[in-house]
Chain A
Amino acid sequence: MKHTLAVLVENKPGVLTHISGLISRRAFNIESIAAGYTEEDDMTRITIVVDADDQYELEQVVNQLSKLIDVIKIIDLTGQDRVHRELAMIKVVATPDIRADVINIVEIFRAHIVDVNKETMIIELTGEEMKIDAMCDLLKDYGIKEIVRTGRIAICRGPKSAKEVS
């Protein structure tokens, strides 16, 4: 089962290496990892989507990550009422003969066109992974040249921030 972990870490050089190194060394199955600044200057938030076979494996992931000195807190957002999103940019073939069809798909998915030229266009789409997968699937027929995705980020609904959740 997939779990979304919010990992709050010290904003210091080397922290990401420590985390990614640990994940590969312990052979955990990580689907995505996304890092960025937060509301606090000295804190980075890393959202990790991990595929764990059972509760024991998940417990290992959390416990081993917690042992890293620069990891401040880990919150499992899986059971929580949360919003999660991913951003994708897709460069797709859009020659004049098919452009209208592609634009049609973009509109259905409420995506944006952020760049266009004679041969291709870049589509930007935000949403849950399934939505992005679905659009990529449709665009495949026209010829996808490049896909770049951020990996999932997630946040809890309600007034509390992740650092306040226990």
Chain B
Amino acid sequence: MKMTGAQAIIECLKQENVEVIFGYPGGSVLTLYDALQTAKYPHVLPRHEQGAVHAADGYARSTGKVGVCIATSGPGATNLITGIATAYMDSIPLVAITGQVAVSLIGRDSFQEADIRGITTPVTKHNYLIKDVNDLPKAFKEAFYIARTGRPGPVLIDIAKDIFAAEIDFEYPEEVKMRGYKPVAAGDITAVEEVYQELTAAKKPLFFVGGGINLSDTSEFIREIVSYTGIPVVSSLMGLGCISEDDPRYFGMIGMHGTYGGNMATTETDLLIGLGVRFDDRVTGLLKEFAPKAKIVHFDIDPAEVNKNVRANIRVIGNLQWSLDSFKEKIMNRSSADWHEQVNPWYETILAWKKDKPLFYKRNSEKILPQAVLESISNITAGEAIIVTDVGQHQMWTAQFFNFKHPRSFLTSGGLGTMGYGVPAALGAQVGNPDKPVVCICGDGGFMMNCQELIAIADLNLPVKIIILNNQYMGMVAQWQRSFYKKNYAHSSLKTKADFVKISEAMGVPAFRIEKTEKMDEELERALKTEGPVLVEIRIPEDEDVLPMVPAGARLDQMIMGGSSE
């Protein structure tokens, strides 16, 4: 069928079942916007391109679908970069569409020209520059396929302005043919057998789950395996929600701000089975002393992850849907009772560590403490909410004190640690999940980095609940300065005359402040039960630390515990 490039793009988006686009128009994409409007394509207008890409990311993380965003050439496109890099580090499937200057103007430093393909090469799974309208359908087909299959990731399609108006005889390819990209579903089954053999011989086995479980929707498998065998399990930041915190065999997050039980278990285990993890430095601490007594097994879809940081004794490469299913089958060869008998002493050991030094804070403080806020939100929502955070101390307290129950219920920038992620990602998550409660936990610093999206939230009347934990500091920075820079708080104070409640109200989101400890639960409940959006500012002490803490470069068992439990 004959149509314009812009109409062809809309056809491509329909074929890929794209429900909504997050975008911001400008010169080079006006023809596309014209067609979007005519087609009445669902479109959300964040107030900054960075907001658009984080919103697409929040949508993708919470729904499992590919998130789509659009920006114009030059500054529009460069405003996407932080968001694309954020998605890349956490393997989030996105397709970013950018306008480029007209074909004849490319390479001449034309108005609003930026080499976005060159710029995004290190932070995309793949990218395209379209200079011929006939290349559009194949590029879109491939882009969506690449974004969602294998190890997911962001793909960028840069399209020269004149292509949107050019005529094409449109036909969408039935299938993709790429010689260099063939994601393997199933891997080597003998490796699974080998893991099984090791496991039957292990005295102190430990599962370590990561973001890969969330991304591959395999949390059911691991839940079943854990309940059948009783093998203890710990998580990375990105793995939170894979295992319900109610599971007695679950010992929380490990790493820099991990639990005592989890970090000790990692130090003492004799068989560490990593599932969809990448052994990032925030998890391992001192790399060569990580899990020093253990054989290491690594399940992952990406062969490049194996031996990148930690040396694996056995690797199981393939989609976790395949590998965990095969593994589960193997495990069922033995009775549940046998497994439990094998691992129970080890489980009791970890349980004793956990009971000895649980996550701790001063429960009877006169001031409102952030940990208490998170516990309260956790209780009120009963874990049935999508929790989005920004980056900093509040992010770690959320990871520690919110009881996650479901996969894809915790959205956070783990790999890149992007301040400003929270508010727009919450917007995107709510668009993708209109009927689920979405709660965004922010710091006073990161909130300001994309607070303009309150306007989009208000105008769409999205019922996002935003909680600002205001310590009047870049808390995480201040914590490091307190511990490692002799309390030299260099430029980390955020003490200000600004009023978050007024800022929020001015942008159309009702807001209030919680000041009294006695009223905290009640007022949080009021906020969370409100229809429509609400922002709540809570003043917390400026010098509260996230604990435990493994100092950078130390071993996991060298945690600073703090508090009375030390």
Find out whether the CB atom of B129 lies under 8 angstroms from the CB atom of A14: yes
Selected contact of A14 from candidates B117, B125, B146, CB within 8 Å: B117
Known: A14-B117, A25-B122. A68 touches B307 (CB 8 A): no
User: Which residues of chain A are near B118, meaning CB under 8 Å?
Assistant: 17
**Stretch from A57-65, A80-88, A97-105, A134-142 forming part of the interface with B:** A57-65
Decide if A69 touches B121 in the complex (CB within 8 Å): no
Interface core residue of B117, B122, B180, B302 (most chain A CB under 10 Å): B180
Docked pose: A13 CA to B117 CA in angstroms: 11
- Looking at the assembled complex, report how far the CB atom of B457 sits from the nearest CB atom of chain A, in whole angstroms: 36
- Give every chain A residue within 8 A of B303 (Cβ-Cβ): 63, 66
Task: Report B328 CB to chain A, min CB distance, Å.
Answer: 27
In contact, A71 and B304 (Cβ under 8 angstroms): no
Q: A72–B180 contact, CB under 8 A?
A: yes
Tell me, in angstroms, the Cα distance from A59 to B309 when the chains sit together.
12
21 contacts between A and B (CB under 8 A): A9-B180, A10-B179, A13-B129, A14-B117, A14-B121, A14-B129, A17-B118, A17-B121, A21-B121, A21-B122, A22-B122, A60-B304, A60-B308, A63-B303, A63-B304, A63-B306, A67-B302, A67-B304, A68-B126, A69-B180, A70-B180
B308: A residues at CB distance < 8 A: 60
Q: Give, as a whole number of angstroms, the nearest-CB distance from A79 to chain B.
A: 19
* Chain B residues with a Cβ closer than 8 Å to the other chain, count: 20
B487 interfacial contact with A, CB 8 Å: no
Please report the C-alpha to C-alpha distance between residue A18 and residue B181 in the assembled complex, in whole angstroms: 15
Q: Which residue of B has the minimal Cβ distance to A68?
A: B180
Note all chain A residues with C-beta closer than 8 A to B498: none
Q: Which residue of A lies closest to B181 (CB)?
A: A69
Q: Which B residues, 131 to 156, have Cβ-Cβ distances below 8 Å to chain A?
A: 146
- B97-120: CB near A (< 8 Å → 1, else 0) gives 000000000000000000001100
Count: A-B pairs, CB below 8 Å: 42
Kindly provide the distance from the CB of B138 to the nearest chain A CB, expressed in whole angstroms: 12
Which residues from chain A sit less than 8 Å from chain B, CB to CB?
9-10, 13-14, 17-18, 21-22, 25, 56, 59-60, 63-64, 66-73
- The reply to whether the CB of B490 lies closer than 8 angstroms to some CB of chain A is no
Q: Mark B160-183, 1 if CB is under 8 A from A, else 0.
A: 000000000000000000111100
Structural contact, A56 and B178, CB atoms closer than 8 A: no
Complex: A70 Cα to B122 Cα, angstroms: 14
Q: A60-B304, A66-B304, A73-B180 are in contact. List 4 more A-B contacts (CB 8 A).
A: A14-B127, A18-B121, A63-B304, A67-B302
Q: Please, how many angstroms separate the alpha-carbon atoms of A72 and B308 in the complex?
A: 22
Q: Which A residues are in CB contact (< 8 Å) with B304?
A: 60, 63-64, 66-67
Q: Taking the complex as formed, is B311 at the interface, i.e. its CB lies under 8 A from any CB of chain A?
A: yes
Question: Is the pair B311, A56 in contact by a Cβ cutoff of 8 Å?
Answer: yes
Give the residue name and chain of the A residue nearest to B128 (CB): A14
Residues of B within 8 A of A59 (CB): 307
Within the complex, what minimum Cβ distance (angstroms) separates A7 from chain B?
Answer: 10
A72-B179 in contact given A14-B117, A14-B129 (Cβ < 8 Å): yes
Residue in B closest to A20 when the chains form the complex, CB atoms: B121
Q: Taking CB as reference atom, which chain B residue is nearest A43?
A: B179
A64 surroundings in chain B (CB, below 8 A):
304
Q: Mark B458-494, 1 if CB is under 8 A from A, else 0.
A: 0000000000000000000000000000000000000
Q: How far is the CA of A35 from the CA of B387 in the complex (A)?
A: 49
Task: List, in ascending order, chain B residues with CB within 8 A of A22's CB.
Answer: 122
Q: Which residue of B lies closest to A24 (CB)?
A: B122
Minimum CB distance partner of A67 in chain B: B304
Closest to A14 in B: B117
CB distance from B563 to the nearest CB of A (A): 40
Closest chain A CB from B318 CB (angstroms): 15
**Inter-chain contacts of B129 with A (CB < 8 A):** 13-14
Contact A10 B180, beta carbon cutoff 8 Å: yes
Q: Mark B220-234, 1 if CB is under 8 A from A, else 0.
A: 000000000000000
Closest 5 CB pairs of A and B: A63-B304, A69-B126, A72-B180, A72-B179, A69-B181
Is the CB–CB distance between B311 and A69 below 8 Å?
Answer: no
Residues of A within 8 A of B302 (CB): 67
* Closest A residue, CB atoms, query B146: A69
CA of A10 to CA of B180, assembled, Å: 8
Looking across the interface, which residue of chain A has its beta carbon closest to that of B305?
Answer: A63
Shortest A80–chain B CB gap in Å is 22
B142 to chain A, nearest CB (A): 8
The answer for the CA separation of A136 and B255 in the assembled complex, in Å, is: 54
Chain B residue contacts of A13, Cβ below 8 A = 129
| Complex Cα spacing A72 to B306, Å | 21
Q: Which of A60, A63, A67 has the most CB of B within 10 A?
A: A67
Q: Which residues of B contact A14 (CB under 8 A)?
A: 117, 121, 127, 129
* Among B118, B125, B179, B311, residue most surrounded by chain A Cβ atoms (within 10 Å): B179
* Cα-based distance from A21 to B308 in the complex (angstroms): 18
Q: Note all chain A residues with C-beta closer than 8 A to B179.
A: 10, 72
Q: Which residues of A contact B146 (CB under 8 A)?
A: 69
When chains A and B are docked, how far (Å) is the Cα of A148 from the Cα of B192? 52
